[in-house]
Amino acid sequence: MKFMKLGAKVDIFHTDGNVTSVATDLSSDVVIKVDDAQLHLHKFPLLCKSGKLQKLIAEAREMSTNEIDLEDFPGGNESLELCMKFCYGIAITFNAYNVVPVRCGAEYLEMTEAIEKGNLIYKLEVFLNTSIFRSWKDSIIVLQSCKALMPWSEDLKIVARCIDSIASKTATDPAKVDWSFTHTRTPTATVTSVEHSTTDLTSPPWNGIQSRRHRVVPKDWWAEDILELEMDFYWRVMVAIKAKGMAQDLVGEALRLYAMRWLPGLSKEDSAPRPSAAASVPCEAIEVAGKHRLLLETIVNLLPAEKGTSCCSFLLKLLKAATILNASPSCKMELARRIGLQLEEATLDDLLIPSLSYTNNTLFDVDVIQHILEHFLMQDQSPPVSPTRARQPGESRRRTRSAENIDFSESRRATCATHSSKLKVAKLIDSYLAEIARDPNIQVSKFVSLAEAIPDFARPVHDGLYRGIDMFLKEHPNLSKSDRKRICRLMDCKKLSMDACMHAAQNERLPLRVVVQVLFFEQDAGTPEEAWDTVHHDFNALKGDLANMKKRIAEAERERTNIQIEAVKQSSKQKATFPFPSISKKFLGKFFNQQSKGPIEVTKGSDTSTKDSESSGSGGLA
């Protein structure tokens, strides 16, 4: 902490009760009253330093009195005493805690350069500009002390200069932050924190060697240091920080920390009791609730406009607090709009916002969830289209196919993400329906309206919806027949899983018509599947048989080919053994028989003998 010492004389001020006097041989000739305190002083040192006291002392002399009453003196008796010690030349020390009250008191007393060169105002301004506003912690301390000194501190631009100093330092690169700060969280405690390693040369040497110890400085190192600022100052500091170009996610994280620090009911440890119409609320409680409501609306106004800069869970906690504190409708609707932009990040516990309306006795505020869901569904789901860029001189009109493919892929990814978020939200709303169905005072129309708001494609399976319907029928056994049909009409039996179908088929709370539909669709869905399994099995068997048949045919073809080749070979051999194929077997047989009997004798001119021989030969062969 920076400090400044002025004066060199020993302190001769003595206080007894509410009376302060100066221990000198000269008796006091003027009495200055501030609040309930009295300061018995001397005119001469005061007239040399203060233009205000010159006027007041002259007026008192005309009225024949030595008493001067300083009404509304900034800083009170302590501030006045320091100003008077400066007039006496007594050694005093200024720091961040007392510089603002004394600076305002000096302004009140007109301790300017016109009265004396090097007067108190000049010295304090030098101290502020050269020391206080250059220090991170001192700037915060001075700003905190300005609250009790309004409007003096505001008129003297001390508040504005403190805010500018703080905002400028938050924009410093974390790698260059070399001053101490009160950041106590671990680096992993904040998702938005981006760590930077800096070297700390202030660590003591180890083993005689100066060590260079590295410490981690997250980007939001400043967020916890300004948590203790009063709401008005915090709002102005955050506005200045945003104007300096601070990252939107860091602004959102700082607001979350401030809300968790000062707003009740945002953490699990805090609990906010539900007010009763008959209960008498003390005036102090009403005043505190009013401050909290103003704080909540201020935080909502400071939230960054960019989507995703504040987590959905935090926004829903703010909405819960807005309901409990009875914030303005515009504040609630703004929170509902922001939550709707990122509803897929919410959890079931986040959506269970209590209903504090006296017009109904429901446990949860279903209407605000309906508004949130409407904002979610109103988002533009079409793929983003980039604005047409002005073509540079000489740039070709033709786009490459790869560039077109990249744009198409990006559009597809954006569409898939949107579809995935709708599926998540559908499951979330189905779980919410099952939870609010336990409320005996929930109206059928609200239940049905919320269930129908989900698009059909976002509910590929109706198990979650069936669970909510079953819970509603269980908790409302006296429903009329038409209401039971109306609720059950929300469910598509064809989209129930096998387990849900088995449960629904035995559910006595469902109308008979719904049970019959479940049984019909269950059987209708099961038979084709079994038939398809059979067909698939037969097809595989037939495929195997066909393969075997093809194999056997191929083997038969190979055998037939081999037989034909062998026959050709045999035929070739026979041709080589019998060169006269026209000779009949009968002739050959006759020839061989004659050879066995002896040589044949032929007589010229005897045809008959020849024919007889042939006849007998023939008969012999036969």
The enclosing H or E element of 85 equals helix 76-88
By the 10 Å C-beta count (0-12 exposed, 13-18 middle, 19+ buried), 37 is classed as: middle
Written as six digits, the tokens of 494 are 């064809």
Q: Is residue 608's pLDDT more than 90? A: no
Q: Is residue 113's pLDDT more than 90? A: yes
Written as six digits, the tokens of 554 are 């191929």
CA neighbours within 13 Å on the CB side: how many for 174? 18
Q: How does DSSP assign 282-340, residue by residue?
A: PHHHHHHHHHHHHHHHHHHHHS-SSTTSS-HHHHHHHHHHHHHTT--HHHHHHHHHHHH
- Supply the pLDDT for residue 356: 80
What is the mean predicted confidence (pLDDT) over 590-604? 47
Summary count for the chain: helices (H), strands (E): 23, 9
pLDDT tens column, 303-314: 998 888 899 999
- Supply the pLDDT for residue 539: 58
Confidence of residue 175 (pLDDT cuts 50, 70, 90): confident
- Supply the pLDDT for residue 217: 79
Domains of the chain: 4-134 (3.30.710.10)
What is the mean predicted confidence (pLDDT) over 404-416? 44
Instruction: Identify which has the larger pLDDT, 350 or 552.
Output: 350
Q: Are 335 and 300 in contact (CB under 8 A)?
A: yes
What is the mean predicted confidence (pLDDT) over 267-278? 48
pLDDT tens column, 482-514: 999 999 999 998 899 888 988 988 888 988 888
How many percent of the chain have pLDDT more than 90? 51
Q: Which residue has the tokens 């005061």?
A: 46
Is pTM, for the whole model, over 0.85? no
- C-alpha 178/C-alpha 215 separation (Å) is 10
Confidence of residue 439 (pLDDT cuts 50, 70, 90): very high
C-alpha 19 chain-centroid distance: 61
- Supply the pLDDT for residue 602: 41
Q: Are 522 and 503 in contact (CB under 8 A)?
A: no
Confidence of residue 158 (pLDDT cuts 50, 70, 90): very high
Q: Is residue 532's pLDDT more than 50? A: no
Written as six digits, the tokens of 364 are 């949860």
- C-alpha 445/C-alpha 442 separation (Å) is 9
Confidence of residue 211 (pLDDT cuts 50, 70, 90): very low
Distances (CA, A) of 164 to 143, 172, 249: 11, 13, 21
Confidence of residue 147 (pLDDT cuts 50, 70, 90): very high
Of the ranges 100-114, 267-281, 289-303, which one carries the lowest mean pLDDT score? 267-281
Q: Is residue 385's pLDDT more than 60? A: no
Q: Is residue 381's pLDDT more than 80? A: no
The enclosing H or E element of 37 equals strand 37-41
- Supply the pLDDT for residue 549: 79
By the 10 Å C-beta count (0-12 exposed, 13-18 middle, 19+ buried), 147 is classed as: middle
- C-alpha 275/C-alpha 269 separation (Å) is 19
Q: Which stretches does DSSP call E strand in 120-212?
A: 195-200
Confidence of residue 293 (pLDDT cuts 50, 70, 90): very high
What is the mean predicted confidence (pLDDT) over 575-580? 51
pLDDT tens column, 252-261: 999 999 999 9
- C-alpha 164/C-alpha 237 separation (Å) is 8
Residue type, 141: I
Q: How does DSSP assign 537-593, residue by residue?
A: HHHHHHHHHHHHHHHHHHHHHHHHHHHHHHHHHHHHHHHHH-S-TTS-HHHHHHHHH
Q: Is residue 337's pLDDT more than 50? A: yes
Instruction: Identify which has the larger pLDDT, 271 or 2.
Output: 2
What is the side-by-side order of every strand in the sheet holding 19-22? 13-16, 19-22, 37-41, 30-34, 67-69
Average pLDDT over the chain, rounded to whole? Answer: 79
pLDDT tens column, 220-247: 889 999 999 999 999 999 999 999 999 9
The enclosing H or E element of 218 equals strand 213-218
